Each structure stands twice: as C-alpha cells, then as structure tokens.
Amino acid sequence: MTVMDQVANIAYSLIIPVAVLFGFIMLNAAYLSYMERKVLAHMQARMGPMMTGWHGILQPIADGVKLFFKEDIIPAKADKWLFSLAPVLLLIMSIAAFVAIPFGPPTDFYGILSNKVPLWLTNLNVGILYVLALASVGTYGVIMAGWASNNKYSLLGGFRSAAQMISYEIPMAFAIITVVLLAGSLNLAEIVNAQSEKWFIIVLPVGPVAFLLYLISGVAETNRAPFDLPEAETELVAGFFTEYTGMRFAMFFMAEYANMVVISLLVSILFLGGWMPVQILPNTWLGGMPPVSWINGLFRLMPPVLWLLGKVYFLLFFFIWLRATLPRLRYDQLMAFSWKFLLPLSLATLLTTAVMKQMGLL
Amino acid sequence: MMRNFESLAYVPAEAFLSAFFLLALVLSFWKRIRTNRSLFYLAGFFGITIALTLELTAGRVKGNGALLFYGMIRNDHLSQLFTVLCLFSSLFLFLFSFISRETTRKFKDGAEYVLLILANALGMVLLVSSANLLMMYLSLEFLSFTSYLLTGFVDRGEKTSEAAVKYLLYGGIASGVMVYGLSLLYGIAGSLDYAALHMFFVNNTVPGVTLAIPIIFILAGMGFKIAAFPFHAWCPDVYEGAPTPFTAFLSVGPKAAGFVLIVRFFYQIFGSTDGGEILTAVGGLDWSLLFAVLSACTMTFGNLAALHQKNIKRMLAYSSIAHAGYILMAVASQTPFGVSAIFFYFAVYFLMNFGAFLVVILVSNEFNSELIEDYEGLAWKRGKGAFLASMLAVYLLSLTGIPPFAGFIGKVYLLLAVFQKGSSLYWLAVVAVINTVISLYYYARVLQLMFLSKRQKGVTLSAMERHHVVPYSVLAGLSFFTVLFGIYWVPIDHLSRLAVNFLK
Amino acid sequence: MLLKGIFLYFAAVILLSAVLMITRRNPVHSVVYMLLLFFHIAGVFVLLNAEFLAAVQLIVYAGAILILYLFVVMLLNVDKEKLGSRAHRFWPWMAGFGILIAGEVVLLLLRGSFPVNPELSVQQTGAGAEALGIALYTRYLIPFEIASVILLVGLVGAVMLAKKTIKE
Amino acid sequence: MTPDTYVPEHFLPVAIFLLLGGAFAVGMLVVGWFVRPRRPYPEKLLTYESGITPFMDAHQKFSIRFYLIAMLFLIFDIEAVFLYPWAVAYGKIGLYGFVEMVIFIAILLVGYVYAWKKGALEWE
C-alpha cells in the first residue's frame, strides 16, 4: 500500500464519517430550536418564527449570527476560569457521546461503494457505559456553571439541577441494566441486533415498564419540561445559566439539544429496535402470511438508518409535546418521584426480568 | 479449595452475624422497637453470644487450614482463637455499654449503636480469617468504617468530632497508602492469594528494594490499625473522644484483629517454616529487623508520651500504644512460638485492659470526669471506693508486668519468643525491660494518688450505690482471672499453642 | 513508539493534574483537576484494554464520588479570605518523604529487573465485562457480598450523620 | 498480547471527537471575539439579583440534603456498576448468579428502606 492509499483510506474511514457525524450534530443542535419553536407555536395556535426565510426556515442561522455579535459578559465576582470552562465541558461531553452510537448496519449505499462500510464511528464493547459515563460527567458543567457565576439563582439552580440529574441517573441505570440483561451485551450494535425479532419495548411484561422508566429519566436528565426546575424562570430566573451571554449561552443551548438527540437515539436503540423496521406481526408468528408479509416487506424497503432517524425525530417531537402539555413539578415532588417511585419500580423490573430469564420465559 | 456454597457450612458464626445484622436493621425500621434501647442492647448481646456459641461448637467441624470461598477465607486455629477473642471483646463492649452512663443516657436511638457494633464484630471476624489481599483489605475497611462511626457516636463535645474526623482522615490516608502498596505487590507477583504469593516469592528472587516500597506502604495500613509508632497519631485523640466502652474495646478487639492481619501477611507470604523453630524470611526482605525497630520505637514512644498525661483515657491510649510495641516483639521474632505469645498476651491484655476501663467508666459515671487528679484518694472514699481502687491497682500492676499478675506472664512469653530468635534481637529485649520500668512510673502515679492521698477520706460515692451487682461482679471476675492466670496459666498456654497450627 | 508517546502523555497529565490538585488554593479548582486526573486514568485503562474499568472509572469516580466531593466542598463554603496557603507547616517533611519514595521508585526502575508475572497480560478477548462478571460471581463472590454490606453500613452511617445534623 | 503491542484503535474516534468538541467550543468563542462588542462597566458586571444590588457572597451554606442525595446516589451507582457485568454474564452464571445477585440487592434494599424510614428521602 502506498502512502497515498493510506491517506485515502484514512480519509474514507475517518475524516468523512467524522465530518458527516459532526455536521449531523450541529444541524440538529441548530434546527431543533427551530423545530421546538414551531411545534410549540402550532400547539398553542400560533405561527412561530415566520420572517426569516420561508416559514422562518433561516431562523436558527439568524439566531446564531446574532449570538456571535452579542457582548460576552463575565460578572466581576465570578470565578472566571470555571465560568469559561463549564459550558465548554458540557458541550464537549454532549458532542462526544455521539461517537459510540451506531446509526445502522454496515451498508454499501445500494452499490455506490465497493464494499460495505459501518454506519458508526466506533463500535465500543462498552458502548452504553461510555455514553452513560459522558452523561454523568456532564453534571459538572451544570454545577460548575452555577457555582462559578456567584449568583444566588445560579447556584441554587446548579445544585438543584445536579441533584436532579444524579437522582434520575439511578432508575436510568437500572432500566439500562434490564436491557443489557435481555440483550446479554453492552455493545449498542449487538443490543439492536438482539431486537431483530422483537423490540424490547414489547417484551412483556418488563419491556414497556423499562421503556417508560428510561424515557422519564431521560427527560429528567436533560432538564426538560416537566422536569425543568433548574430553569424555572418564575423562581430561579434562568437557573445555572442566568449569568451567561452570547456564545457561552449558545453552548448551553447546543449541549441541551445535543443531549436530547442522544437520549432519543438511546431510547430508539435500547427499546425501539434501533434501525429495525416496524413489523406489523412478527415473522415467526402470522407475519409470514401473505398480506402481512407484503407490508412487512414494504417496510423493509426503507433504509435502516432512516428508520432509526424516524424514531429519533418522533421522540424529539414527543419531548416538545411534553413541554407544551405538562405543568412543571414541584422540586420535592420531583425528588420523591425518582427516589420513592422510579427507583423501586426499576429494581422490581430488573428482578422480574432476571426471574423470567431464569425460568426460561424470556 | 472450597467453593462458595459448600463453604457456608464452615463459617456459621460469620454467616449468623451477617444475617443477624440484617435482621436487626430490618427490625429497627419500626419506631417502637428502635427507640427501645434496652431491647436493642439485649438483642445485640445475645446475637454476639449466639455467634460465639456457634464458633465454639463448630470448632469440631472446622478443619484446620481449610481454604474456603475459593481461598478467600482460611479456616484454622489462629482464626478460630482470635474470632473467639474478638467476639468476646464485642460482648464486653455491649456489657460496658449497659453500664456506662454515656451510652445509656446521652442518646436516644440505640439501634444504630448496636447495629454498628454488630457490623464491627463481623469486620473483625472476617479480618482474622482472610487469606487473600482483596478480602483482607475489604474487611479492614469494613472494620475501620464502623469504627469511625462509633467513635463519633456519642457526643462528648468538641473532642468527639475532632476525634472522629481525625480518625477518618488518618484512616483514609493509611488505607489509601496501603492499597497502593497492595497494588504494587500484585503487580510484582500477579496474585492476590496468600498461598500463591508465597509460592511466587519462594520461586522468584525479588530485589529487596523492589519489595521494600510495597511492604512499607502496606505497613502503613497495618500500623494504623494497631497504632504502631509512626502511624499512632490518631490514637490518643480517638481514645479520648470516643465513648469509653468503645475505647476499651478499640484497644483489644480491632487491635488483635490487626495483629492477626500482620501475622498472616508476613508469616504466610514472607515466611517459610520447614518445620524449624524459626521461620526463614522469603523474598529477600529482612522483616524481622523492620519489626524489631518498629517495636522498639513504638513502645518507647508510647511509654514516654504516657508520662505526662492528665486524662486517664489518654494515658491508657499511650499505654496501649506501648503494649502494641511489646506485642510487635513477637512478630519480629519470626518464630511460630511468637504467634502463641501474641495470643497469650492478648488473652491477658483483654482481662486487664477491659478491667481498667471498667473502673474508668464507673468513676466517670460518678464524677463525669476522666482526669487523673479526680482519682485522688479514691481508695478512702466511702461506698465501694476501696474496692474500685484496689481493682484498678490490680489491673494497672498487671499492665505494668509485675510478677503475681497475668501481665507478667504475658510479657515473659513475648520475651521468650525474642530469645528464641537468637542473639540478634537481644537488644530488643533490653529495650522492652527498660520500657517496663518507665511504664511503672506512670502507672504507679495513679496508684499513689488513689492510695496515699487521704484528703478525700470519708467522702461518699453517691452514684455507686444505685448501680446493680453486674459491674462489680464483672470487675471482680476480671481481676480474679488476672490474678489466676498470673499463677496458673496452663489453660491459656494450651490454647495459645494451638495458634501455631496455622502454619501447617 | 506511538503507544509509548500516548502513555507518556497520560502519565504526564496525571502527575501534573495531581500536583495541581493538591496545590490549588480554591478547593473547587482542585476538584476540576481531579476530574482531569480521572479522565486520564480512564485513558490508561483503555490502553490496557480494560474498557469496562475505564467506563467505571468515569461513572463511579468522576460521576459519583467526585460529585459528592464537589457538593461537600461547595457546601463547606470556605471563605476565600480565610483560605491561606494550602501548604501545611510540615510541607518540607512531606515533600522530603515524597522525594524519598520517588527516588526509590526511580532506583527501582534503573535496576531494570522488575519481575512481572507472565500471567498478567492484556486480554485480547474483548469480553472484559463478561469475564469480570463471571469472576465476580464465582471466585470473588464473598468480597463482592462483603462490599454490599460495607455499602449498607456506609448508607446507614451517612443517613445517621445527616439526620443528626438536620435535627440540630 | 502485552501492553507494548496492544493498540486501542477503536478509541481513536473518541479522542478525535473530544478534541473536535473542545476545538469547536473554543473556536466559537475565538471567532466571536473578533466581531463582538466589548463595553464593560461596573454595573454591567454585577450579577443579577432581581434588579437590586447583590448583597453578601452568593456562596452560602447549602442544605445538607444535597449532600445526602449525593451520598445515596454514590451507593446506588456503585450497586448499578456491579450489576452491569452480572447482566452481561447472566447467561453463563445461571442460577447461582441469580441467587447471589438477589442477596446483593436484598442487602442494599434493606439500606434503601432504612433511608426511607429515617426520612432521608424527604425533601421538606
């Protein structure tokens, strides 16, 4: 192999995928804000952004440009070093989580490429743990931002937010362990492949419970409504990012949207069969019969990666829907909900799964 | 090497203790039970008693040298003897907690106190039988953990929080350093198992300096547990700040467990018997000298520091440091007989130390003070004053090592072990004798205050009357044995000879 | 060569952040350096093909233990004015001790004959978590269950102390 | 395979992304630095406190409950970490593994109920 070949090889196997994935993250981070504003607006019988471009389609770009030109204010009493570090840390963690996520099985893009390439950057054996680890480190960004601002609202917001995030990490972990128990692997691609016959969400009776547990904890982890206590503007102004302006403020936003995407991806991968297409009835049962098998075959025509993204965007829509619908919880209710309800429930789910697996029922 | 479920039958005491601990914790959920302190004390007392009974009766079942749980736990006479000793010390802790006013009046919830003592007992029992670095470290942490909590349990003012925090910080650092040493050892030898480690060091020559670093680091953790010289700094403060019954216990049970840890670690990994009377050091490290130096420093420091103490608990703390130094002589001797001597000494130390502390408890129930000056003229006070003073005299003289008492025989055993090693350690024996003379001074100071000052003559000890017969009979019983074993020590001798069997 | 370079990078950052961690005046800054330290230790684990441990390093140490430290450090709210130099009055002794140990390690490395058990090698099976699971639930069962009791005692202790403080 | 020859190349993208994320975040700030205005004055640099001048240091002593939550989290997080290898190896360790894990969970469950009964989970 010549040097040029090696360079080309690296380009194909690394640079292009990295560029594509990075682009995907950025596009999502930008356009989710648009999606959120539009969906919320329509749910409240408004139009949302309409001025910039067709139906306001250029709004995120305008927002981004605006934020670039905003003054960067660091309060005099703030801990400047930590104040600058916090948003950067949070953003790095939420971006880096995407590396380990598989978007689909190896494909040659309908013959365009000479050999099959995987639709993931790296397939870690401990993929799910890697994502969890980065998420748990993300807590630092929140709490450090709150502390460094030297503002009472920020500090309380940061503390609340961090306590909330760690409280919901426990049921989340147990829900994930339930999935790992079903799949027998920590590898995300293998977890998806284990669902080729049956998505984990329909593995009765534990699947739906674990799914809901994960979904709820996921929403709480991203500090979204109805768990957006840290940002409860009526009592805490803007929570831990009260003092942030301009690009630093933008970073918190991007990190939040990136986190939402990661959570949606994980929900899809762990419970909704990842890139597996919908089956009206499983092949092993009536699904093999003609009218059903035609529809199943039709579904299979759509590329796997689109199935995954479809599920992801549905979940993202769902998150926005939640925000439009549900009122905010009180903080003591929020903590009690995790510690007194979700935690025992998740443990019970896990144990039930183990028992049923032991008895050969799963 | 036995597998997990088969092994369970061989550890009835440990299994019972863990189950009982959990049961007690579950019972404490109900407020009515939790607030009933006497009920919980009784439960704890009987729990330990049952564990003791199980341990004693299961002795027949237990094989010597059986490796249980894939070699995590070694069942041999050494572990059995010290399990019994440790459980007895927990039993006395409960007994003393009944008696002491601190632990009966000052706090409401007795449940946690009892629970922590039970957990502490479990930690000790596991520590004395661990035969694997991981198991050893975990049980050590378990023991330390519960000890920190118990130290701060009864609020005696600023002293307590200072003691608990100091204990925690010293303990944390010591165990951190120790686990670093353990990891280095694992890196060198590639095993956590004592037997496998031994085989590695027999078959491979490791340069002395390579081994020195991990060993010194590990010694930091061990030295902390037994309060040996450079790692003793926590000891006086903790002894002063902790509830007195726990202080009494701390210098017997956990310390004995710590010594078993040292003995096992060095005798089983770095010693080779070949049936001889003296072990040969394995692994190119002269740990005999190491311990000899440690021992000499510890006893000298302990005794010198004890000279100026005003608080009797602090004085006893320094005295217990000195005693750890004496006992380290037996480790330095590298002889199987040294292990017997260690058990012998602990059996005796158990009696005299608990006895001395019981007097301290009774006196502090009366005066609410632990200052030595408050012992002035104790012998002449009306209402059990003479009894208390004479009892304390017996224990203190025994602690010094004066002939008709058991402490003397204990010291003789330790010295015999040193002599067995040979002329290289004679200097250590000389140091020990000099130290005994020094210690006589501060023990005698208390005696002199109690007996020779008549200023307090005729003052009545009021609180003494209200107490029941229990503390006094315990006091008398302990002193009876202290004297008895000073004259007729064959029973303990027989028992202690069993301890050597762990090397087989 | 590359590997050595990566390892040296990790080692250098570990040492540097450890030193910074103990010398910073602001304890919250110390925590940040500790986070950096944990990340690079996880990196070393990755180099040793211990991916599971690397993840655990981040989840438990960075994600849980350090968060607890951070809470405590922030709760303590040490006055910045009162925060003197972090150097303890014994620092020359400690530095001396540290240099002694470091010197001994250097001496050790210079001798070159560090016997390493050949059984210790990087596993290439990639089944880190599974192998760990099997070991944990057979051979190391008792330490594992003891660990759970220790956690339980820790929980009881924490609740007990916290409740005591709340009552006062 | 010894540590000298093992190359964890599948972590290369991770390293790249960590760097890329950092570079992106810093890059945004640097680019912004060229175009954004800088007109600080003392009032602007005050922290926000509902319009009044901030009083006292914001770093107040906080409720011990935050610490308690962190402690409980730590314990359950460790429990969860122990469960991952168990879940992966479950097929191979079978019934023994199940019983052992039930004991493990039961022990911690006792602690959980204890914490609940003692009111550690309340957030008054």
Nearest to D57 by CA among A79, C139, B45: A79
Spell out the domain ranges in chain D: 9-117
pLDDT computed for residue B293 by the predictor: 92
As a whole number of Å, the end-to-end CA separation of chain B is 15
C149 reaches B (C-beta below 8 A): yes
pTM: 0.90
Closest-CA residue of chain C to A124: C51
Query: What's the gap in Å between the CA of D85 and the closest CA on chain C?
Result: 4
Asked whether residue C161 is assigned to any structural domain, the reply reads yes
Of D45, D88, D102, nearest to A75 by CB-CB distance is: D45
| Domain interval for residue C167 | 128-168
Closest-CA residue to A228 (of A236, A220, A237, A218):
A220
Residues in CB range of C161: below 8 A, 6 or more apart: B149, B152
Backbone angles phi, psi at B221, to 5 degrees: -65, -45
Distance of CA A297 to the CA centre of its chain: 29
Regions of chain B with pLDDT less than 50:
none
Low-confidence ranges of chain A (pLDDT < 50): none
CA distances (Å), origin B361, targets A258, B86, B95, B357, B369: 64, 21, 12, 6, 9
- In this structure, the answer to whether residues C75 and C139 fall within a common structural domain is no
Percent of chain C at pLDDT exceeding 90: 18
**Is the distance from CB of C155 to CB of D114 less than 8 angstroms?**
yes
Alpha-carbon distance D29 to nearest alpha carbon in chain A (angstroms): 6
Q: Tell me if chain B has a CB within 8 Å of the CB of C168.
A: no
d(CA A97, CA A131): 5
Please state, as a whole number, how many other Cβ atoms lie within 10 Å of the Cβ of residue D122. Answer: 14
pLDDT 10s digits, C61-101:
988 899 888 888 877 765 554 555 555 667 788 788 788 77
Amino acid, res. A260: M
Confidence at residue C124, expressed as pLDDT on a 0 to 100 scale: 46
CB contact under 8 A, B28 and D96: no
CB atoms C123 and D1 under 8 Å: yes
Cα distance between residue D55 and residue B37, in whole Å: 48
- A307, HSE (Cβ side, Cα atoms, 13 Å): 21
- Residue C4 located in a structural domain: yes
Give yes or no for D2 touching A (CB within 8 A): no
pLDDT at A287: 57
Is the residue at C144 inside a domain? yes
Distance from CA of C26 to the nearest CA of B (A): 20
- Tell whether C8 and C72 lie within a shared domain: yes
Question: What is the pLDDT, as a whole number, of residue C125?
Answer: 45
Contacts of A72 in chain D (CB under 8 A): 29, 32-33, 36, 38
With 0-12 CB in 10 A as exposed, 13-18 as middle and 19+ as buried, what is B485? buried
Predicted confidence at residue D1, as pLDDT, reads: 46
What are the chain C neighbours of A81 within 8 Å (beta carbons)?
29
Q: Over its length of 124 residues, how does chain D's per-residue pLDDT go in tens digits?
A: 455 667 777 888 888 888 988 898 888 888 888 877 777 777 766 776 666 666 666 666 667 788 888 888 998 999 899 999 999 888 888 888 888 889 999 998 899 999 888 888 877 6
Chain D residues close to C157, C-beta within 8 Å: none
Question: Does residue C75 sit in the same domain as residue C3?
Answer: yes
| Chain D CB contacts of C56 below 8 Å | 81
- Name residue D23's amino acid: A
C8 interfaces chain D, CB cutoff of 8 Å? no
pLDDT digits 0-9 by tens, C98-157: 887 788 777 767 765 555 555 555 554 444 778 888 888 888 888 888 999 999 998 888
Which residues contact residue C36 at a Cβ distance below 8 angstroms, ignoring those fewer than 6 apart? C13, C17
Residue of chain B whose alpha carbon sits nearest to that of C157 = B149
DSSP B371: B
Q: Answer yes or no: is the ipTM higher than 0.85.
A: yes
CA contacts within 13 A on the Cβ side of B412:
14
The CATH code that applies to domain D9-117 is 1.20.58.1610
Q: Min CA distance, B203 vs chain C (Å)? A: 11
The verdict on a CB contact (< 8 Å) between B138 and C143 is yes
**Could you tell me if residue C96 is inside a domain?**
no
Cα–Cα distance for residue pair B376/B456, rounded to 1 Å: 7
pLDDT of residue A341: 92
Q: Do D58 and A154 touch, CB atoms closer than 8 A?
A: yes
Of D13, D26, D28, the CB nearest to A99: D13
Q: What is the pLDDT of residue B301?
A: 92
